[in-house]
Structures are given as C-alpha cells and as structure tokens.
Amino acid sequence: MDSVRSVARSAPDTILISTVATLVAIGLVMVFSASSASAVALHHDAAYFLKRQIAWLAVALVAAYAAYRIDYRKLKNLAPLAVVFAIVSLVLVLVPHVGKLANGATRWIGIGPAQFEPSEFAKLALVLYLARALSMKGDKIRSLVGGIFPLALVTGILAVLVLKQPDLGTASLLAATAAAMLFVAGARLEHLALVGGAIAPPLFFLIRHDPNKWARITAFLHPWQDPLDKGFQIVQSLMALGSGGWLGVGLGFSRQKYFWLPEAHTDSIGAIIGEETGFAGIAIIIALFVIFTYRAVRIALGTSDRFGFFLAIGCMTTIVVQAFVNLGVISSSWPVTGVPLPFISFGGSSLVTSLVAAALIVNIGRARSSPVAVRSREGTVLPPYARISAAVRSH
C-alpha cells in the first residue's frame, strides 16, 4: 500500500520536562538529606553521595540530550544489537572478578568508583526490542506461537540472567513491562495468562527454596513477628512514614536515616521523604508520576508511528511501574525488593536510564506525522494508533 508521510518538529512537551526536572531536583535534595549521616560516618563528608549524584546527573543529561536530539526511528535497527549487548553484559556480571559484589548481589561491572549496572540498561534494551518487534508484527501478535512466544523468550532470557544476580525486583519489572506492551499491542489475554501460568510454578519453586527470597515474602506478610531481623526494613520504613504524619518532621530532621533504615538514600529514600515531608510530600511525588504517565500516554497516542507508539509506552511503563513498586515496598504494600525510585534515588545507572527513557518520550512527542492510512477488514481507512486502540478495546 502506498502512503505518504510528512514529518514536522513541534515544541517539546514542557509539562513532561518540568515534571521530570522537579523529580530530579527533589532527588538531589533528598539524596543529600538521606545520605548525610552515612556519608559523614563512612567518608567524612556529608555531601559525598550528593557530589557523586551530581556527577552522574551530568552524564545523564548528556545522554538524555543525545536521546532527545536523535531521530528515534534510527533506534529501530539498533534494537537487536542493544539486546545482544544487554545479554552479554548480564553474563559478564556473573563472571568471577568481573562482576562487582555488593550487599550479597553481583549487579555491577566497572573499575573503581566508575560502575555500570547492566540490568538498568537491559530494561531500556528490552523496550527498544519489543517496540521494534511489535511495530512489525501487527495482527500476528494475536498468535501464541508466532506472536507472543518469541518475544516472551527474549524477555525470559534477560529476566533469568537478572534473576541470577540475584535481582528478583528488576526481573519482575522486565516481565511487567513486556506484559504491558504486549497487552497494548493487542495480544490475547488468554495467551498472556497462559505464559504467566507457565512461569508461575518454577518462579514459586525458586522463591520457596531460596531462604532470602522466602524470608522477604514471610516478612511482607508478618513483619512484626521478627521486627529485628527479617521484618526490620519494613518495620523501620513504616516507623519513618508514621513519624512523618501529615507534614513531616522537617527537611533534614529524619531520625531513621541514622543507621536505622537500610538503604536510606537508595531503595528506601521514599520512606525518608515520608518522614521528613509527611503524607504531603509522598502525595506530591505520586502526583508527579501520575502527571508523567498522563503526558507520556498522550504523546504515545498522538503519534502515527507504530514504533514510536510502543517505544513511548514501554519507556513510560518501565519508569512508572518501578516507581510504584518502590513506593509499595516502603508502605508494606509490596514485598521488599531492591528497586530504586526513578529520578530520585541515589544511583548513576538508574538515573541515566530513567532520563534517557524520558528524553525518548519527549523526542517522540516532537515528531508530528500525518497518519499513515491502512485499511481495516471492513474497508475503513484507519491510522495505526486507531488500530492499536481498537485492539485494546477488543479485550
């Protein structure tokens, strides 16, 4: 079918950019507050972690600007290479003396202070790969063997490698992102349920026979039965949130950051936000992520490019799902898992990946194309986004 596409560049989505900038600014303030006690004790410099975060922010902004300026359609051909690189780097993490061990997990590659977390890149690589595949499959995604299975296989390979680190949290995020993208693409619910049912038994077996993972489940269900050991992190998070009340104890006046709350400036930074700024602070964080979600979905629905649509949806999903899992952990609404709060938690790889994903969404929003018309079975001419919406409604 012949089609003509005219492309023009519009102004970037300033609301989405402002939302991300606000989250990053909050992150810098809270990283300094949450890490100051441990920074003084371990490095004799209250701003030690803040300085590192600012350095990583500079790197992240350069990478995000590149993602913003590039023609995102060129990434379509690079998607398979990105997945191969992600798989190779995840394998290298497991190689002795190559992967860096910290807190009982081997998740980093690097020399000295410069470390790279391949599982963070794997999230973006998977989104690129799925966006490319889904943009090419069309209605074939409604087939189990020719549609879902090949994509589930690639997702499974990445998830298993991440699970070997071990990192159940990021592995589950990979699966959740893939499931969301497949659903939006029009995959049948019964097929998704079949894949999920096939994964559930071995996953339960793995968790049940791993003392650390099973302890997290039991601690989630009954944290107060062992508040000094298995339930310690959950109990301390709840105490931080409870101490914060409606308006918090005041910025910088957290008590839980004084070595009571584990990972106070990384995975548990939300609890410190709740303690110092109260329910109001947490509500603002949630509102910002809701605005981010709305603007990203709006951009996705506004493009006539199938690859751009799925790329925007995937980037949005991986950020938002991670954010609400993190907030679920600190409020004891989700089992403890080591995932950072996007844009806010201390961590270079997470910050770079999150800002690049957000920049890609803004990039897609700048591209305004005339819809590429295709014919439905009834003969009605429909643009791609209309076909996608119709597929989702068919569920």
Cis status, amide bond into 166, omega within 30 of 0: yes
Answer whether residue 1 is part of any domain: no
Q: Which domain holds residue 167?
A: 7-393
Sign of the CA dihedral 210, 212, 216, 221?
positive
In sequence order, the 6+-apart residues with CB closer than 8 A to the CB of 386 are: none
Mean pLDDT, the chain cut into blocks of 10 residues (395 residues total): 50 95 98 95 94 96 96 94 95 83 71 76 96 92 89 95 88 94 93 91 87 85 86 92 95 93 92 97 97 96 92 97 94 88 94 97 80 41 46 46
Q: Which residues pair with 375 in a beta bridge?
A: 381
Answer whether residue 162 is part of any domain: yes
State the pTM of this model.
Answer: 0.89
H/E element, 102: strand 99-102
pLDDT confidence of residue 221: 86
The token duo for 95 is 């190689």
CA distance 31 to 234: 20
Write down the H helix ranges in the chain.
14-43, 48-69, 75-93, 118-137, 149-163, 168-185, 189-208, 211-221, 232-244, 269-301, 306-330, 348-366, 384-393
The token duo for 356 is 């690049």
Q: How many domains does the chain have?
A: 1
Answer whether residue 73 is part of any domain: yes
Answer whether residue 82 is part of any domain: yes
